Structure 1
Amino acid sequence: MFDSRHIKTFREVVQAGSYSGAARSLGYTQPAITQQMKALERDVGTPLFTRVGRRMRLTEAGEALARHADVILDSIADAQQQMDAITRLRSGRVRVCAFPSASATLIPEAMARLAAGHPGIRMELLEGEPPDSLRRLVRGECDITLAFTYPGLDEEVPDEVVEVRLFEDQLIVLLPTGHPLARRRAVKLADLADEHWIAGCLRCRANFLHECAEQGFAPDIAFTTDDNLVVQSLVAAGVGVAMMPALVLSFLCHQKVTGRALDPASRRQVSAYVLREHLRIPATALVLDELRTAAERRVGC
């Protein structure tokens, strides 16, 4: 591994034609130049200069290194500029893996704020449902994961992952317009025990079954889909009722469905997850801050 300071001094010796000339140009003493060149020759493993009378000549290895010195130093300078741009938040890339309703609500606002305040920071969006999205974080396929968890269901988070809590998302019951219980402000889950149900993603369905069991009944699930628009369309058509996070209704509200709070209230936790060591990366920390701000400003339906 070359020391860039030695390469810079070597280039100056080649251009000046002597150690003394390089010393004058760089403001060093001649012994300091000599010591650096000896150190570089030890790194290379072969002499770089030979003396012919009072003149210094490059060896074959010295000539080879001289041809690459400018490229090496230019590459280091470019790398330093890029590192400086990243640490000063003038450039950078952050890959965020999010579940669909977060992609439709939190991500657009965070992206817009980044574009306005830090146009050099690029956020790349991937979509994925937990727990797969958490596994993608650990595998290094993304830098931040947005995921949700439900109380009462065991969640395993690897030790190297940090959870940054964003907000609690209320669960609501989705009824077709005109349903008798739509006149209530809140609905007990047990009052819908005889209904047909539309179920969602695996994690949401597991929580739904858990809550129904807590209320003493097993729901009749008529249809299962991960597509929130399909869920609302099926409810609107009278195929069944559904339990849905309020976050979905903040951007997608079918005109023929009515959402009502659960009694007692039920919520899921929406969080950002990041590898512990990545919290020190400026661009990642910035995106986390923007996601917190977007979460605080979210608007319900």
Structure 2
Amino acid sequence: MLDSRHLATFHEVVRTGSYSAAARALGYTQPAVTQQMKALERTVGLALFVRVGRRLKLTEAGEALSRHTGVILGNLSAAQQQLKGLAGLRAGRVRVCAFPSANATLLPEAIAQLTVEHPGIRIELLEDEPPESVQRLVRGECDIALTFSYPGLQVEVPTEVVELPLTEDLLTVLLPAGHPMARRQAVRLSDLSGERWIAGCPRCRANFLHVCAEEGFTPDIVFSTDDNLAVQSLVMAGAGVALVPALVLSFLCHAKLTGRAVKPHTRRKVSAYVLREHCRVPATILVLDALKAAAAARDGC
């Protein structure tokens, strides 16, 4: 295998035209340069130089190696600089797969912090609901998966995956501002048992049916969609009401919508998942810390 030190010395010998000139340029002794070139010739199994008078001339093998040496050394230098940047948190790409309301709230807040403090970090945003997002993490399609879980509806986590809890997201009822229940600070779902409902993703819908059963009724679900903006528009149009996470209230697009807490309080847990082996990757750690800070800031509001 070619030694990068020998290649660097060979490159300097070719540039300067002699062992002695290369030794001066590199700060080596001439015998050291001679020994390195002999070692390189043993490695390739061919002579690289012949003497013509007092100068060295490349052999055909030497010409061939010379054509590649600059590229090889340039690539090695670029790789070293990139690794140095990654280790020093000046560069790196982190792929985050999150559910829609996290992509609209926690991620932008975390990215805003990273952009100021570590502008070389690049975040690639992907979108998926749990448990698919965790499966994408295991398949190597993302570096961090942001997911949510409900009591009794936990996300199954493989042994190679680590869970980092971020926050608890209160569930709220989304109502038109003119709805009679909008005057209350909090409502019981049973008080809305006669309403038409818009349900969310399959996991959210399963939890919704469960909490309604605990309140003693089966909801009349007229629409199901995992599009938060569609849910808002349907409620605004009077098509029904909806049970949504408090995160959604952060980006209401209709001024005449309002959210009210549910009695008794119902929450979902929001967590970040990462492969155990990635817990030591500097850029990944940095993004996780930013997500924790964004979640903590929301908890403090």
TM-score interval for Structure 1 and Structure 2 normalised by the shorter chain: 0.7 to 0.9
1:221-277, CA deviations, whole angstroms, 9 ceiling, x for partnerless residues?
111122223323333343322111011002216343332212221111112222222
For 1:193 and 1:95, how far apart are their aligned partners in 2? 41
- 2:215 maps to 215
**Cα distance change on mapping 1:250 and 1:52 into 2, 3 Å:** closer
Q: 2:167, 2:299 within 8 Å by CA — same for their partners in 1? A: no
Q: 2:56 matched to 1:88?
A: no
Which piece of structure 1 moves more, 10-19 or 148-157?
10-19
Q: What is the identity percentage for the equivalent residue pairs of Structure 1 and Structure 2?
A: 71
Q: 2:130, 2:155 within 8 Å by CA — same for their partners in 1? A: no
**Cα distance change on mapping 1:64 and 1:168 into 2, 3 Å:** same
1:99-140, CA deviations, whole angstroms, 9 ceiling, x for partnerless residues?
221122122222222222222222222222222222222233
Q: Secondary structure at the match of 2:218?
A: coil
TM-score of the superposition, structure 1-length normalised?
A: 0.86
Which piece of structure 1 moves more, 18-27 or 113-122?
18-27
1:58-69 residue pairs with structure 2 within 5 A? 58-69=58-69
**Cα distance change on mapping 1:219 and 1:63 into 2, 3 Å:** same
2:111 counterpart letter in structure 1: M
Q: 1:105, 1:298 within 8 Å by CA — same for their partners in 2? A: no
- 2:228 maps to 228
Tell me how large the CA RMSD over aligned residues is: 2.8
- 2:147 maps to 147
Q: 1:246, 1:300 within 8 Å by CA — same for their partners in 2? A: no
Shift of 1:30: 5.3
TM-score of the superposition, structure 2-length normalised?
A: 0.86
Q: What is the aligned length?
A: 301
Shift of 1:63: 2.1
Q: 1:161, 1:273 within 8 Å by CA — same for their partners in 2? A: yes
Shift of 1:180: 4.0
Which piece of structure 1 moves more, 206-215 or 241-250?
206-215
Question: Can you give the 5+ residue segments of structure 1 that lack an aligned partner in the other structure?
Answer: none
Which piece of structure 1 moves more, 34-43 or 63-72?
34-43
Shift of 1:48: 2.8
Q: Secondary structure at the match of 1:297?
A: helix
**Cα distance change on mapping 1:99 and 1:69 into 2, 3 Å:** same
- 2:121 maps to 121
Shift of 1:209: 1.6
**Cα distance change on mapping 1:198 and 1:4 into 2, 3 Å:** same
- 1:250 maps to 250
2:134 counterpart letter in structure 1: L
Q: 1:9, 1:36 within 8 Å by CA — same for their partners in 2? A: yes
Q: Secondary structure at the match of 1:174?
A: strand
1:156-181, CA deviations, whole angstroms, 9 ceiling, x for partnerless residues?
12222222221110001223344444
Q: 2:270 matched to 1:270?
A: yes
- 2:169 maps to 169
Question: Can you give the 5+ residue segments of structure 2 that lack an aligned partner in the other structure?
Answer: none
**Cα distance change on mapping 1:38 and 1:237 into 2, 3 Å:** same
Q: Secondary structure at the match of 2:104?
A: helix
